[in-house]
């Protein structure tokens, strides 16, 4: 019996070691998967929030319902960052028992306005996003310098990049306008496409994304028209002549929205990290339902090492330069008969020699505290790109730390104007 007992213990010991080895191997595989996906743990005071749709969503475009000629109002996508911030603040405040008239919490001394702001600012909080996530991969707006043309065989596409051409006279002066490479005819823009991380990294490297790295907007959601009526609640009747049409969006499978929250205090983290996930909140127009869950990992931004004095500056979120094309710190000047914009960002001095900027991105919104619409603002759209040249040719090692991933312009706490640095091999240096 003693020998049998010892044999049993030995066998049990081996089994325990085998299970431990399996756990270690599984942990190693998970770490390798995270590294391949570019995931990293969130820094202290940061958290990644995932918003999932339970039904359709609606984020009204900037036009009002009574706009002339407006038969149907479409929905913005991804949702405006202020909508995400408002939904998040409302959820946290309700969970903490905030009195919305005074912004004070009866059960604690938590300073809501200092930590999370009000209708005009975010307080200590800072956000990055909103990001579309498709099949586990974060998507970015396709750079507006990408142009496409269907192949003659009907299978696949040709993809080219606009390049900075020779300076020509226009309303801005003698400016290097973007142009197609020679012998490229019949190409059109790719405003309705998104690129994954690998595709954007190829763009930062000065190349074009592969076709499987491009995602059409129709692969992300579908449109659903809705018809609404105005009601007289006192009479419990319909108000004659007041009909409206909206266009909701229904997300496809494996599509959700992420936003990265920074400078988050311990009290807020405790609310967001609750075990009852996903939590349910009202989101966007008509108070549609959404689930939100907190994650301790975030996908790293694509990166390339710039080794020249020329570089591109990509916008991955809309930017606000107070209605201008470039920040106030950049002034128009002439250099060798060419109009450029010269200035400084985060201690780096450079000139903007050319730019690809799309149609203005317009956002309004609703002020729930004042019960009135917010003023409509125009933003530089995401996907816009500057073609830049450093004043000091030896400053390129500073670009990563000083500019890559930073937010510039107004409302940077909302993640406006987030930029990535890419390579630019100028083919027509003047």
Tokens of 168: 């020509």
Fold of 143-212+303-430: Immunoglobulin-like (2.60.40)
* Torsion angles phi and psi, residue 391, rounded to 5: -65, -50
pLDDT band per the 50, 70, 90 thresholds, residue 299: very high
| 319 token code pair | 């930017």
Residue 234 · residue 336 · CB < 8 Å: no
pTM above 0.95, yes or no: no
Nearest to 260 by CA among 213, 316, 212, 205: 316
Dist CA 361 CA 353 (whole Å)? 23
pLDDT at 209: 95
| Amino acid 27: pLDDT | 53
- Token pair belonging to 260: 């990265």
The chain-wide mean pLDDT, for the chain, equals 85
pLDDT band at 36 (very low <50, low <70, confident <90, very high): low
Rg (CA), the chain: 26
203 vs 288, higher pLDDT:
203
Q: Label residue 38 by pLDDT band (50, 70, 90).
A: confident
Q: Give, in order, the Cα–Cα distances in Å from 240 to each of 237, 244, 245, 335.
A: 9, 12, 15, 63
Residue range 336-344: mean pLDDT, rounded: 93
Distance set, CA 59 to CA 38, 179, 267 (Å): 30, 35, 30
Do the Cβ atoms of 224 and 250 come closer than 8 Å? yes
d(CA 113, CA 107): 16
Is a pLDDT exceeding 60 seen at residue 430?
no
pLDDT for 283-298, tens place per residue?
A: 888 888 898 888 889 8
Domains 42-136+220-299 and 143-212+303-430 share a fold: no
- Domain chopping of the chain, boundaries: 42-136+220-299, 143-212+303-430
**Confidence tier at 24 by pLDDT (50, 70, 90):** low
Distance CA 223, CA 245 (A): 13
Tens digits of per-residue pLDDT, 309-336? 999 999 999 999 998 999 999 999 998 8
| Rounded CA separation 227/209 (Å) | 40
- At residue 11, the pLDDT reads 46
CATH class of 42-136+220-299: alpha beta
DSSP, res 180: P
Return the minimum-mean-pLDDT range out of 173-182, 193-202, 235-244. Answer: 235-244
d(CA 70, CA 245) in angstroms, rounded, equals: 9
Of 308, 325, 304, the closest CA to residue 385 belongs to: 325
Residue 14 confidence class, pLDDT cut points 50, 70, 90: very low
> Higher model confidence: residue 340 or residue 111?
340
pLDDT band at 10 (very low <50, low <70, confident <90, very high): very low
Q: Is 83 exposed, middle or buried (0-12, 13-18, 19+ CB in 10 A)?
A: buried
pLDDT at 19 over 70: no
Can you tell me the distance from the alpha carbon of 165 to that of 195, in angstroms, rounded to the nearest whole number?
A: 25
């Amino acid at each position: 019996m003693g020998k049998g007992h010892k044999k049993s213990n030995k066998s049990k010991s081996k089994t325990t070691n085998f299970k431990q080895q399996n756990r270690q191997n599984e942990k190693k595989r998970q770490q390798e998967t995270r590294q391949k996906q570019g995931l990293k743990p969130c820094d202290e005071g940061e958290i990644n929030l995932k918003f999932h749709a339970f039904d359709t969503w609606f984020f009204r475009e900037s036009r009002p319902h009574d706009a002339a000629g407006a038969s149907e109002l479409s929905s913005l996508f991804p949702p405006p960052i202020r909508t995400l911030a408002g939904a998040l603040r409302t959820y946290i405040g309700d969970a903490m028992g905030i009195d919305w008239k005074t912004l004070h919490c009866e059960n604690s001394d938590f300073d809501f306005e200092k930590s999370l702001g009000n209708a005009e600012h975010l307080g200590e909080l800072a956000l990055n996003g909103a990001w579309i996530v498709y099949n586990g991969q974060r998507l970015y707006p396709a750079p507006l310098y990408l142009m496409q043309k269907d192949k003659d065989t009907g299978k696949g596409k040709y993809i080219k990049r606009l390049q900075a051409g020779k300076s020509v006279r226009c309303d801005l002066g003698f400016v290097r306008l973007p142009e197609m490479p020679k012998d490229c005819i019949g190409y059109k823009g790719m405003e309705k496409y998104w690129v994954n991380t690998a595709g954007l990294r190829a763009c930062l490297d000065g190349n074009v994304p592969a076709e499987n790295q491009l995602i059409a907007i129709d692969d992300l959601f579908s449109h659903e028209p809705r018809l609404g009526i105005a009601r007289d609640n006192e009479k419990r009747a319909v108000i004659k002549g007041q009909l409206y049409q909206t266009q909701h969006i229904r997300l496809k499978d494996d599509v959700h929205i992420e936003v990265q929250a920074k400078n988050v205090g311990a009290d807020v983290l405790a609310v967001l990290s609750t075990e009852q996930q996903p939590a349910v909140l009202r989101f966007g127009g008509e108070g549609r339902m959404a689930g939100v869950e907190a994650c301790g990992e975030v996908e790293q931004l694509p990166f390339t090492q710039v080794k020249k004095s020329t570089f591109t500056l990509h916008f991955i979120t809309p930017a606000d330069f107070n209605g201008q094309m470039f920040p106030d710190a950049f002034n128009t000047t002439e250099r060798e008969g060419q109009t450029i914009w010269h200035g400084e960002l985060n201690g780096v001095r450079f000139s903007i020699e050319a730019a690809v900027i799309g149609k203005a991105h317009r956002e309004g919104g609703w002020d729930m505290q004042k019960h009135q619409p917010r003023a409509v603002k125009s933003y530089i759209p995401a996907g816009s790109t500057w073609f830049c040249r450093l004043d000091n040719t030896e400053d390129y090692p500073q670009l990563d730390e000083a500019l890559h991933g930073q937010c510039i312009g107004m409302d940077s706490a909302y993640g406006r104007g987030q930029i990535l640095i890419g390579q630019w091999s100028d083919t027509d240096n003047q």
